[in-house]
Amino acid sequence: MNKKPAFIRKFFPGRRLFSFLICVVIAAFLWLINALNRTYTRTLAIPVKFTHYPIDKHINNRLPNYIMADVKASGAKLMMLLMKKSLNEITVDVSDVIQLRAKSNKAAVSTLSMIGNLSKLLNTDVELMKVKPDSIHFTFGKTYSKKVYVKPRVQVNYENGDGIYRNIKTSPQFITISSDSITLAKIDTLFTEKIVLNDLNKNIEQAASIELPEEIDDLVVLSHEKVLLKINLDEYVQKSVMIPVEVSNPPAGMIIKTFPSAVQVTISAPYNLYDSLVPALFNVTADFNSPEKSSGKLKVKATSKNPEVRITKCNPEKVEYILRKK
């Protein structure tokens, strides 16, 4: 009687195991078909978007971001809904709500009336069982406005960063925000979204969204949702200017004269500012009461009235002095 070699028996164990696996696959398929045909109840989070906020009225209460809907449908239809990245949102026109409220400062809108035909909204035949909340309430109050500064959040990685000056201008630099007086009192600056620019080697313009803190996101109306960032690159240049030394805190009834009377200040600034680098833009001071005063010399300190200009060196760093009576 011929026998199969051992390696054949190892990798092809026989018809029984093969038949068993076929039965398992068929059983799993039949179970899946049966499960998909059954009816289930599931809670769906349907996003809500509010539009056309009134300019002269403020909504004092917090509005929901989602409506929770209990729906009944077959397993197959629910599976198709869950496979979607996001559900279609419900849009609520706030100006229509204001017309409904007449002279009252409060109004409520039925959630069911906003949803309408849920099957049409979801593009799937489902039965709506319950929604939460059953109504969306609006409490209107007086709106106040003020201008706030918009600060850009930009990280620039240069292709070659040696001697590169970066200047970022925001347009508009200030925007108008509207809300209740308590919320406005908490805001003096808004920030843009963070933007990272890699290998930057030229001037660019880019739009950036304004980000609101989560706790006030639905309590504030912005005059601009985005601002334009103008990012200019320029090379730094160096220049030296002679600046007279001014001595502060002299002894009473005394005059201090320094030697030399002026020092050479080396500055670094963007190329486009080169022609404006005049002595009047800088101050060089020496404090007579400074603890750094030693051996008959005063340490000098140079400052610039333009924050875009860097002071790189003073020569000399210390000056001699003499005291005279007035």
In this predicted model, what pLDDT tens digit does every residue of 81-97 receive, in sequence order?
A: 666 666 677 788 887 77
Range of the domain at 260: 237-325
Q: Are residues 321 and 270 in the same domain?
A: yes
Among the three residues 142, 157, 183, which one is the final residue of a domain in this structure? 142
Q: Which residues pair with 294 in a beta bridge?
A: 297
279 in any annotated domain = yes
Q: Are residues 44 and 101 in the same domain?
A: yes
The pTM for the full model equals: 0.48
Q: Are residues 159 and 123 in the same domain?
A: no
> Other C-beta atoms within 10 Å of 303: how many?
13
Among the three residues 142, 159, 187, which one is the final residue of a domain in this structure? 142
The pLDDT score that the predictor gives to residue 23 is 79
Q: Are residues 42 and 138 in the same domain?
A: yes
Q: Are residues 61 and 131 in the same domain?
A: yes
Q: Is the dihedral of CA 190, 192, 194, 196 positive or negative?
A: negative
Q: Are residues 153 and 208 in the same domain?
A: yes
Find the angle CA(222)-CA(223)-CA(228) to the nearest 5 degrees. 100
Total tally of structural domains belonging to the chain = 3
31 in any annotated domain = no
The pLDDT score that the predictor gives to residue 173 is 93
The pLDDT score that the predictor gives to residue 254 is 86
The pLDDT score that the predictor gives to residue 208 is 92
Stretches where the chain sits below pLDDT 70 are: 1-15, 30, 32-37, 55-56, 77, 81-87, 100-103, 117-124, 158-165, 292-294
179 in any annotated domain = yes
Q: Are residues 310 and 276 in the same domain?
A: yes
- Compute the CA torsion angle 18, 21, 25, 30 (nearest 10 deg): 100
In this predicted model, what pLDDT tens digit does every residue of 27-36 receive, in sequence order? 777 676 666 6
Q: Are residues 229 and 153 in the same domain?
A: yes
Q: Are residues 137 and 42 in the same domain?
A: yes
Length of the chain: 326
The pLDDT score that the predictor gives to residue 37 is 67
Helices (H) and strands (E) in the chain, counts: 7, 20
12 in any annotated domain = no
Q: Is 161 in a helix, a strand, or coil? A: coil
Q: Is 14 in a helix, a strand, or coil? A: coil
The pLDDT score that the predictor gives to residue 59 is 77
Q: 75-83 vs 15-37: helix axis angle to the nearest 10? A: 90
The pLDDT score that the predictor gives to residue 164 is 65
Q: Is the dihedral of CA 286, 289, 291, 295 positive or negative?
A: positive
The pLDDT score that the predictor gives to residue 1 is 46
CATH number at residue 308: 2.170.120.30
Q: In what order do the strands lie in the sheet with 106-110?
A: 57-59, 135-142, 106-110
95 in any annotated domain = yes
32 in any annotated domain = no
The pLDDT score that the predictor gives to residue 165 is 61
